Structure 1
Amino acid sequence: MNDWILDYTMFLAQALTVLAVLGVIIVLITKGRGQGETPAQLRIEELNLRQRKRVRRLKLAATEPSGRKRLLKIFRRDDKQAQKHGGDKSGRSSVWVIDFHGDLKASGTAHLAEEISALLDVVTEGDEVVVRLESAGGLVHAYGLAAAQLDRLREAGISTRICVDKVAASGGYMMACCADRLQVAPFAVLGSIGVVAQVPNVHRLLKRHDVDVEVLTAGRYKRTLTVLGENTEEGRDKFLADIEHTHDLFKRHISERRPSMDIEQLATGEIWYGQDAIEKGLADEVMTSDAYLLKRMQSARVLTVRLEAQKGLPERLGLSLSAGIERGMTRMLEAVDASRWLKR
């Protein structure tokens, strides 16, 4: 009898402990959600300083131990001379560097907009904004907004250079052509100026199993193609007409920003690499972003600007499973779409 009471007491204590822990977690999650999103933090790094530190470390490593003390004295002397003459900041223009890595939904557009808004208030005459862009494209409206954010720099009269080291295709190229100067790496992928839409339809499968689907709409073209219902020729024609109209808008967008391009010859959905893209007029020069920024460090301060989102408590506790699944599916779709050029 005493053993049973002891076992029951131990079980009850363990159950209460588990319930208490779960209660604390729920309270913390609720509190975290109640506080709303934590504002993103602006991070700025001067690449000149980072490069100088790395070069000095390499020089020290390559110097015999007996000569390192003398080399350190030279470094300190150079630093004093720089401070005496106002440091590296005196009379030098600035190159502001922002990054955009696009997914199917151009999810980074909100941060891009905030970064550009911040730069518009600080960029002065002689400065330049460099955008390191990587995107295989995605949703039309999402990339239309992202391109419109880059247009704000051009409209403000700010010198803008876009660097493509890997890919700027479809919606990515819609963004890339907003630059005053577009440079690409030797095997960067550009182009894919086209529109694609895929709609699965399981109507015949449902019909085979005696399942009816009623699609009711108010408005002739409220639903042109459906997944479950029976599609009509009129609906297909309208859907195709909408795609063609979107393609025309895409071509007009590019023609206005790169008038030297033969848009009718190039808006076929094809892609081009590096030098071929230069010859077709899709870009201006072949150079990697690293090479360009290293070159600019000789005469200007080069600063990276990025917004870093602060992770909320639910995400830190690993409660973002659905978001992870969505990201995985998105990456799979992007990989399938980009399979034309992601080959060795």
Structure 2
Amino acid sequence: MRIPFLSPRPPTVAVVRLEGPISARAGFLGGLNLAGLAPVLERAFSLKGASAVFLAVNSPGGSPVQSALIARRIRQLAAEKKLPVVAVCEDAAASGGYWIACAADEIVADAASIIGSIGVISAGFGFQEAMARLGVERRLRTAGSEKATADPFLPERETDRARLEELLQDLHEEFKSWVRERRGGRLKAAETELFTGRFWAGRRGLDLGLCDRLGDLRSEAERRFGPKVKLVRVGGKRRRFPFSLLPSGQALAEGALAAAKERAAWARLGL
């Protein structure tokens, strides 16, 4: 009996899309945090026959804590499953997005991608003068001299400013330590240039050692595994609400605020 020839299965790559700002509370508009990504990452690294895990990163950044948690979980799974990880930067892998990209063994970017922004930012508003014009009295009681630090309805105190700057410096050191650990000898410029919070286009980022080569997800997968490589996306699409489950007015308002914050995050990168 003649046995038909069975061609070998093409190589398989698990693809996880990491899109949007990074926040502990993602909301119904989406976003990135460990709680939402953990099961997706588990499935990606457990994909049967996978030769690698690709991270398609498209994020302007966000929470340092969630960035660190996501990056740490990626490294844990990579070590456990013994799979190489490649981050492919799309429009942006900036700030927390770059923090996550550094969890990969190699970083690939488009020539026009925005990468870097190795810094920490805190922004807010002061409403004390507006309240005075409206005749509104702020009544605040605390136990603890620093409990009302950075209260937007009180004038900014020098001690508050110094305390916040100290906190930002501590967080910046965590970010820098992670980049040193993951990129180390591949960085090609002084830290005084790379760790200022500045960001660059992908081609310049390659010169600086922030990424390893230029390309895109499909071309990088084919370069590594051949033209027959199979890309398997792991993870659900953005949630859609049926009419019977339309969000409440409060949720819509919160969603509008989240959308404005996301728009501001992208605008900071010129995107």
Larger radius of gyration: 1
State whether residues 168 and 190 of structure 1, in contact with CA within 8 Å, keep that contact through their aligned partners in structure 2: yes
- d(CA) in 2 for partners of 1:168, 1:310: 23
- d(CA) in 2 for partners of 1:302, 1:127: 10
RMSD: 2.6
1:123–1:316 distance in 2 versus 1, CA, 3 Å: same
Post-superposition Cα deviations, 1:65-106, rounded to whole Å, max 9, x if no partner, equal xxxxxxxxxxxxxxxxxx9333452xx542111211122526
Structure 1: gaps (5+ residues): 1-82
- d(CA) in 2 for partners of 1:283, 1:142: 22
1:170–1:309 distance in 2 versus 1, CA, 3 Å: closer
- d(CA) in 1 for partners of 2:5, 2:252: 52
State whether residues 221 and 229 of structure 2, in contact with CA within 8 Å, keep that contact through their aligned partners in structure 1: no
Identity of aligned residues (%): 23
2:165 aligned partner: 240
1:274–1:247 distance in 2 versus 1, CA, 3 Å: same
1:286 aligned partner: 214
1:302 equivalent in alignment to 2:228: no
- d(CA) in 2 for partners of 1:310, 1:231: 40
1:113–1:278 distance in 2 versus 1, CA, 3 Å: same
- d(CA) in 2 for partners of 1:220, 1:155: 45
2:178 aligned partner: 253
1:134 aligned partner: 58
How many correspondences in the alignment?
A: 256
2:14 aligned partner: 96
Flag the structure with higher helix content.
Answer: 1
Displacement after TM superposition at 1:271 (Å): 0.8
- Runs of 4 or more consecutive aligned structure 1 residues displaced over 6 Å after TM superposition: none
1:302–1:237 distance in 2 versus 1, CA, 3 Å: same
SS of corresponding position for 1:290: helix
Which of these residues, 198, 201, 221, is aligned with residue 146 of structure 2?
221
State whether residues 104 and 334 of structure 1, in contact with CA within 8 Å, keep that contact through their aligned partners in structure 2: no
Which of these residues, 256, 259, 262, is aligned with residue 328 of structure 1?
256
Worse-matched range after superposition: 222-231 or 270-279: 222-231
SS of corresponding position for 1:131: strand
- What amino acid maps onto 2:147 in structure 1? K
1:267 equivalent in alignment to 2:195: yes
Post-superposition Cα deviations, 1:175-207, rounded to whole Å, max 9, x if no partner, equal 011110100011000011111111211112323
Post-superposition Cα deviations, 1:38-80, rounded to whole Å, max 9, x if no partner, equal xxxxxxxxxxxxxxxxxxxxxxxxxxxxxxxxxxxxxxxxxxx
Q: Normalising by structure 2, what TM-score?
A: 0.82
State whether residues 153 and 160 of structure 1, in contact with CA within 8 Å, keep that contact through their aligned partners in structure 2: no
